[in-house]
Structure 1
Amino acid sequence: MTQNIGVIGLGAMGRGMAQSLRRAGCTVHVCDVRAEAALAFAAEGGVACASPAELAAQCEVVVSVVVNAAQTESVLFGEAGAASAMKPGSLFVMCSTVDPNWSIALEKRLAALGLLYLDAPISGGAAKAASGQMTMMTSGRPEAYAKAGGVLDAMAAKVYRLGDAAGTGSKVKIINQLLAGVHIAAAAEAMALGLREGVDAAALYEVITHSAGNSWMFENRMAHVLAGDYTPLSAVDIFVKDLGLVLDTARASKFPLPLSATAHQMFMQASSAGYAKEDDSAVIKIFPGITLPARTGGA
């Protein structure tokens, strides 16, 4: 591919996605609120842009990898926003975890401006984003997929087409986040009980990761706990937000989610205790009377 593709948001996922697009032969224009992040990517062969509008004026496809709906609104409709600079028929790919109803409405708003839209939340973590092996949960109109061409496959190993209108991608993503948040909370609770009972943390991790009680989240996140490293790859407050979206969606149809509600309260407790910006595995810090492993390799 030789298309001009824009990536807005160079965080843990966005930078890897931009790298994957560049490997696929795209000319990749990038923009981030941290100008130094865009300049660093440009030094490796990309094009740094000072604003979403500058980026959008040069790109047929704009991929937004920001945190939430509010940031996406700013990317599109804020000062120097992308929407006013995108040429008619251009495509906006929205990769954030958002309220599905908001995504449905955004498709209509962009259509009124002559723009195409894909509801395309992502999953897999920074390593899979960097290797082009992540998962995309997408929905949108056929003409939006046609415009995307090979762009989605360049970024993801699994691109699920879940419907011909926005909303379904976001619904599937928040169900994924329901499981992810509950699994992290359960993993933290299990590790905390083991520590309280005097079980060696490394031995417990070894046994569980080779037993039926294992989960991807236990294996991934409890490794952070063993290392004593709470550098945020996905922060506590991400799950305050995402589980909040899960509960809001279920509340609208009066559908009970007792495990999700409990996990949400655990992340809320961790956030209010001062761990909001730490890795989401820091939810384990809410449990009293346990001594957590010290950080390996220094403070």
Structure 2
Amino acid sequence: MNDQERSAPPRVGVVGLGAMGLGMARSLRSAGYDVGVHDLRADVAAEFAREGGTAYATPAELASVVDVLVGVVVNSAQTEAVLFGEGGAVPRLRPGAVFVMCSTVDPARSAELADRLAESGVLYLDAPVSGGAVRAAAGELTMMTSGPAEAYALAGPVLDAMSATVYRLGESAGLGSKVKVVNQLLAGVHIAAAAEAMALGIRAGVPAEALYEVITHSAGNSWMFENRMAHVLAGDYTPLSAVDIFVKDLGIVLDSARPERFPLPLAATAHQMFLQAAAAGLGGEDDSAVIKIFPGIDLPEPTEGSN
């Protein structure tokens, strides 16, 4: 690599243009990066291309032209397919390229991915994210990352372009995912608790708007109560983060603790609540729809302009 290549910004690709990935790709473009994308929904990738990016038909085609590949898919199975499946990225990623793994996965699986990529000379950053679709679009995510210094040297500015804060937690793959597991434990429990509290108040005859106003100005408030119960008040369960996401994520939380024989009673209860909601056909709705599992409550109807 000559000096000019060394000083040029890395070429970046994003695989997965869901609620988070699309915002992250747009943030990278806003920061001045030439961004290529791939998504199984060709129309979504084509729309991003019309905004000024470049769409590629397979992860392999995208991998062949980038220095940093960011994976923002749902789970470890999809990450596996992106990297090692038919049309996967690994055979086309150049040695020294960086794969940035932003999905929520079991920390042990993250460490395995790092080892497998190292066999091809590809660097790996364990980099799950938090903040939701709105912060992704604004380039204001929190990233919980770990990996080798060489990976940060190339991909560090890319992480900064997508995030308000990038936590560097160490060199070992899986550390970022371990912190994300703890975060998702709290997020899932807080949403479930917020739904339970709001449902109790409604059942007791307290007007939902009044309850929300009081709690959001009292010691019982949480970020999740304030954010998710606003969806309930609006009667809008358009999925920004779906019930099924917390079925998955709290399942990962419980699975990661099992080998340690570590009890997680609150996480287990919250997981059962999300499972109950999914079993009732609510899996594709916003995670605040977990409130619908409670009987005998009249939830607010959709307000004008909500879906």
Structures share a fold, TM > 0.5? yes
Conserved? CA contact 1:63–1:93, under 8 Å = yes
Gaps (5+ residues) in structure 1?
none
Partner residue of 2:165? 158
Post-superposition offset of 1:142: 1.2
Q: Residues 1-299 of structure 1 correspond to what in structure 2 (within 5 A)?
A: 2-297=9-304
Supply the distance in 2 between the matched residues of 1:143 and 1:3 (Cα, whole angstroms): 14
Deviation at 1:147, TM superposition (A): 1.8
Write the distance in 2 (CA, Å) between the matches of 1:41 and 1:123.
23
Letter in 2 for 1:202: E
After TM superposition, the score normalised by the length of structure 2 is 0.96
1:206-236 CA-to-partner distances (Å, cap 9, x unmatched) read: 1111111100000110011011111111110
Partner Cα distance (1:113, 1:23) in 2: 31
CA distance in 1, matches of 2:203, 2:273: 18
Displacement of 1:78:
1.0
* Contact residue 65 and residue 96 of structure 1 kept, 8 A: yes
**What's the C-alpha RMSD, in Å, of the aligned pairs?**
0.9
What's the CA shift for 1:249?
A: 1.2
Q: 1:223-268: CA deviations, max 9, x gaps?
A: 1101111111111011111111111111111111111110000001
Contact 1:100 1:171 in 2 (8 A): yes
| Superposition deviation, residue 79 in structure 1 | 1.1
**Take 1:71 and 1:45, find their aligned partners in 2: how far apart are those partners?**
26
Residue type of the alignment partner of 1:9:
G
- Letter of the 1:102 partner, please give it: R
Instruction: Tell me how far 1:174 sits from its aligned partner.
Output: 0.6
Q: Which runs of 5+ in 2 are unaligned?
A: 1-7
2:131 is matched by which residue type in structure 1? G
Partner amino acid for 1:126? A
User: Residue 188 of structure 1 contacts residue 284 of structure 1 at CA under 8 Å; is this kept in 2?
Assistant: yes
Where 1:289 maps in the other structure, the secondary structure is coil
Task: Provide the rounded CA distance (Å) in 1 between the counterparts of 2:122 and 2:206.
Answer: 57
Displacement of 1:131 in angstroms is 0.8
Q: Indicate if the aligned counterparts of 1:2 and 1:25 stay in contact, CA closer than 8 A.
A: no
Q: Distance in 1 between matches of 2:141 and 2:214?
A: 28
Structure 2: distance between partners of 1:242 and 1:45:
33
The CA deviation string for residues 37-87 of structure 1, in whole angstroms up to 9 with x for no partner, is 111111111011111011000100000000000000011011111111111
User: Shift in Å at residue 2 of structure 1?
Assistant: 3.6
Distance (whole Å) between structure 2 residues aligned to residue 10 and residue 209 of structure 1: 33
**TM superposition shift of 1:149:** 3.5
Aligned pair count reads 299
1:18-43 deviation line (CA, Å, top 9, x unaligned)? 11111111100011011111111111
How far has the Cα of 1:3 moved from its partner? 2.7
TM-score in terms of structure 1 length: 0.98
